[in-house]
Amino acid sequence: MTQAPPGFAGNRAALAIGCLSLLGLLCSLLDYWLLFGFVSLALLVSALAVGFGRAGPRKPILYTLVAVFLIYSALLAAIAWTYQGEGEPALFLGFPVSTALLVYGIWPLGFIPGILYLLIFETSVLRRERLEKFMAEFGREEQDR
């Protein structure tokens, strides 16, 4: 089996998950909720990095993941910023602005990893030649023939 190209996952992404988990625990215990939110987002994006780790090409995927994290973080900061506790509500498409950011921002943003997976499926996630080689070497059905 040919060695796969080195990805950015491996030890670094796994260690990032370990460290971010510790940081998340600390933030939750100290009740630093906004920081906890950013750490959670970083953790979710690190998990994506682990999953896409060997799906190269490395840089475009890495840049997309960083962009996902930055957009999520900006939305989270905007929700915290626009959160109103009193006064007349400023409604946007039927919701108070902070809730609108959740409904029309955070919610649809969750589709981006699925779209990325779809777009790079044949070129990176599951390349035909590598799958065929794997199945020829280890596939049960091929060996049964």
Q: How far is the CB of 59 from another protein (least distance, A)?
A: 18
Question: Any contact of residue 62 with another protein (CB under 8 A)?
Answer: no
- HSE, side-chain direction, 13 A CA sphere, residue 99: 10
Does 117 help bind another protein (rule: CB under 8 A)?
Answer: yes
Rounded distance, CA 121 to CA 117, Å?
6
Q: Please say whether the beta carbons of 36 and 28 come within 8 A.
A: yes
Contacts of 128 by beta carbon, 8 Å cutoff, 6+ apart: 122
Q: Does 51 bind another protein (CB under 8 A)?
A: yes
77 interacts with another protein by CB under 8 A? no
Among 1, 59, 144, 145, binds another protein (CB under 8 A): 1
103 lies in the binding site for another protein (CB under 8 A): yes
